[in-house]
Amino acid sequence: MATALVTGGSSGIGYAFAQQLAARGDDLVLVARDEPKLRSAAETLHTLFGVDVETVVADLSVREDLVRVERLLGDREIDTLVNDAGFACHGDLLDEDWSVQAAAFDVMCLAVLVLSGSAGRAMSARGRGEIINVSSINALLGADNYSAVKRWMVSYTEALAGRLAGTGVRASVVLPGWVKTNFHSAAGLERPHIPGWLWVKPSQVAASALDAVRRGAVICVPTVRWRIAAWALRHGPDALPRVVARSVRSGHRPKAGH
């Protein structure tokens, strides 16, 4: 039986991945910071799908925790790695307090590099495996540090896929549009005021990404509407991403009282 490891697997997109991986019969290793939420997710998935679910409480911005998960990927036979752990870091780039921005690099860049490297080495030795990194459509903008770290993830995954060519291991990066999760509220931000038809379900993100990595597609943008938007941002007028970025920045205002 195959085993999948999902970071950020206790909620949102990560939990959607866990559900779909469990539905296809994979045992799970879920990694997240919130122990009660992690335990609840594991119990629910085991009850619904009958698979074994192991939990690892870890904060990937903490070096000791990151190394612990890295070693687990090297020691265990993990067939699918999903790097979903992340958080909103839409602070002003000129803020004197750069601790949140540094944590964003640790969780969404360094951890992806370290865990993908560990998984890639082990999977290459076995001649099979899948690595999925969860980026964002924000990677195509120049809005803030969140855009920057998510763009790094796209470039890194493209390089990783090239490095893994011929090994039997595939790597894909998924760029969701706006997804209805607790992502914004967790950061004390207002959810963007956009038409309902633009929102994407976490299950759509997971399904699209799992299909893409099976097909060997390196870049995945779920839903036709967001694929059109991504094409426009990459191939349209040079000023378009900057115009959209200004709109995104104006929408990232903390809620009252935060």
Catalytic residues, by residue number, are 146
Rounded to an integer, what distance in angstroms lies between the CA atom of residue 27 and that of residue 248?
A: 38
Give, in order, the Cα–Cα distances in Å from 150 to each of 94, 147, 162. Answer: 19, 5, 19
- Rounded Cα distance between 232 and 140, Å, is 10
Tokens of 133: 């990194």
C-alpha distances in angstroms, 104 versus 22, 31, 98, 220, 248?
29, 17, 10, 22, 18
Q: Within a 10 A sphere around the Cβ of 33, how many other Cβ atoms? A: 18
| Cβ atoms 51, 95 nearer than 8 A | no
Contact 194, 244 (CB under 8 A): no
- 237 φ, ψ (degrees, to nearest 5): -55, 145
- DSSP string for 189-202: BPPP---GGG-B-H
CA distance 158 to 120: 14
